[in-house]
Amino acid sequence: MKKVYLISGGVTKFSKANPEKDFRFMVREAYDHALSDVPKLKPSMIDGSVISYFSDHFTRQLMSGAMVQDYIGLCPKPSRRVEGGGATGGLCVQSAYQEIASGRMKVVVGAGFETMSRVNTWKGNEFIAHASDTNFDYPVGGFYSGYYAMMVVRHMHEFGTTPEQMAYVSVKNHKNALYNPFAQHPVELTVKDVRSSAMVAWPLTRLDCCTMSDGAASVILADEETAFKVCENPVLIKGIGTGTDCMRMADRPHGDVILLPHENKKDYKKLKYPGVHSFRAGRMAAKTAYEHAGIKNPIEELDFIELHDAYTSSEIQTYEDLGLCKYGEGGKFVEKGFPFMDGIEYGLKLSKKCKIPVNPSGGLLASGHPVGATGIMQAVFAMWQLQGTIKKHFGNNKLQVKNAKQGLIHSHAGTGTYVTVTILEKAQ
């Protein structure tokens, strides 16, 4: 397999609504942003694209990917659309990676978007709910805030996780977003603010949940020869992993914990796994990505993580799935301060220093979640971290992780039906 590098990326500002721009204009804005960072790369050098968006219903347009391909000027070159729920953007990055790793292409654009404001919020939630089993879950009122509320209640029961610990995640991510000009919800919060906001599905309040968004993101990937020819500081995609699970949580069997390289079977002798408190697909994605990248202990070898925090509870669950702490310790992990940024005052009494910044961008909670663009946005922000160019793109250095050499991005769909994990490394 050929080595694959991220060489550039761009994002639009994510917003609740952006009615003056349709999806093509937003993708073009993100694509032009990416091109402007690599002036040595000529559009004629691009071999094709992968386009990601979650739902045709939001755009009210079929074949949107073909329209994007035309609008960014890549016809008649190859293109294809990928879709995998909330993991759509992560799948896009990995699909673009595979085009180059296989030797089929030398330069590929990955572009994603969503225009979720084109429908009312209740209708948008209905569309998203169609990503559950429409023969079983959906007819009895299945919707995602309800699913995640159920899962975190089980996490609370099994491990003693508290709503206040979940609120720490919201405080952290929204505060980080104050320094991210692309973020949808930059705001300073307290634990009280989070817990007293409108209840959505107990214990999840409005500030425990991400919101629907409009926005687009684009990345450009290249083979090794091209990457070092057109880019001063390319970022290596060191490893990828993907996991899946049953759509219906009731169909998920109990079994042995999928162990990561730094774990021991005896750590989980009494754990009923995966239950509804954990994501087996996330574990498998992490395991395969770590093996591919040669990661033995993520908490020691990774410098930051951008993960899929559609809910504060899912960030805590994902700490455990990624092996940042043992299953059951995610609540304490955030309460102690391990995933916070150094140099930012959060207004919380944190007993420990940062171990590994998680969602320095603000994550989905604060940056926004235009589904098809989200995983690509994570890749762009992670690339800028490793290139050391956060100040250039954000206008400030508050979110720059010092001396970052390796990072991880994580995309998640449904209740853990698809999960992608991608390991990135600063080029040596």
pTM comes to 0.96
- State pLDDT tens for residues 350-370: 988 899 999 999 999 999 999
From residue 398, alpha-carbon distances to 141, 353, 366, 377, 404 in Å are 43, 17, 16, 18, 14
- DSSP characters over 121-189: HHHHHHHHHTTS-TTTTGGGT--HHHHHHHHHHHHHHHH---HHHHHHHHHHHHHHHTT-TT-S-----
Q: Which tens digits make up the pLDDT trace of 183-204?
A: 999 999 999 999 999 999 999 9
Q: Which residue has the tokens 């940024």?
A: 341
Closest alpha carbon to 147 in 414, 372, 374, 329: 414
Cα–Cα distance for residue pair 35/43, rounded to 1 Å: 8
At 143, list the tokens.
């919707």
* The pLDDT value given to residue 248: 85
Instruction: State residue 377's pLDDT score.
Output: 98
Separation of CA 293 from chain center = 19
| pLDDT value for 130 | 82
Q: Any idea which fold 4-118 has?
A: Peroxisomal Thiolase; Chain A, domain 1 (3.40.47)
Cα–Cα dist 28/26, whole Å: 5
Looking at residue 40, its pLDDT comes to 98
Instruction: From 130, 3, 133, select the one nearest 55 (Cα to Cα).
Output: 130
Residue whose tokens read 């449904």: 414
Residue numbers in the chain where pLDDT is lower than 70: none
| Cα-based angle 219, 222, 228 (whole degrees, multiple of 5) | 115
CA distance 142 to 148: 11
